Amino acid sequence: MFSPTLSLLLTAALALAIPTPHLAARQNTTNIVLHVTDFTAFMADPTIEGTQSNLSFRITDPRPDFYGAADCVVPPTYFNLYAISALFDYCGPSGSEFSYRFFETGLQVRRSWRIDSNTTLTGSSIQQTAWTEGSNATKLPNGRVFARKSEWLFPLGKLQTGS
């Protein structure tokens, strides 16, 4: 037999556990896909003096209500591209809503966007690179070029909220 106090506590706990429809709709990620286009990375051979690595691609969130796009660029550098983007690096100016990490086996992209005056959502996605010589990887005398000719889709997983 339930006491009125216990019943009230259970009702309150259930109300807290069930998200409001508004919040649940904002967290639905089934249709959020970031698009990466024009991906090119040149990894310079570190044993050849004077060669520099570089990376560039465009990232777009095509949703009409939250449209956004940015160019992600690492200008020519003597540093290894994997070392440069071991942590997330911004696309565009520092503090941009888009960022990425490029590593030996994949590319991870991330976007943050404000949905109201108090809430920011952040979502990210990883895709494996699967570089194949002669297909999307080309060996040159001074390094290797990695390129994606077709659009690369990054469906976002679970979103994180922030303020």
Question: What's this model's pTM, rounded to 2 decimal places?
Answer: 0.78
Closest residue by Cα to residue 162 from 111, 102, 125, 108: 111
Cα Rg of the chain, angstroms:
21
Closest residue by Cα to residue 146 from 36, 38, 42: 42
Provide the pLDDT for residue 63. Answer: 93
Per DSSP, 19 falls in state P
Least confident of 1-5, 33-37, 150-154: 1-5
Average the pLDDT over 140-150 and give the result.
94
Domains belonging to the chain, first-starting first, are 33-162 (2.40.350)
Mean pLDDT of the chain: 83
- Per-residue pLDDT of 21-50, as tens digits, reads 344 344 444 589 999 999 999 999 999 999
Q: Which amino acid is at 116?
A: D
Provide the β-strand partners of residue 113.
121
Compute the distance between CA of residue 73 and CA of residue 70 in angstroms, rounded to an integer: 10
Closest residue by Cα to residue 54 from 79, 32, 29: 79
- Per-residue pLDDT of 5-14, as tens digits, reads 444 333 444 4
Average the pLDDT over 84-96 and give the result.
84
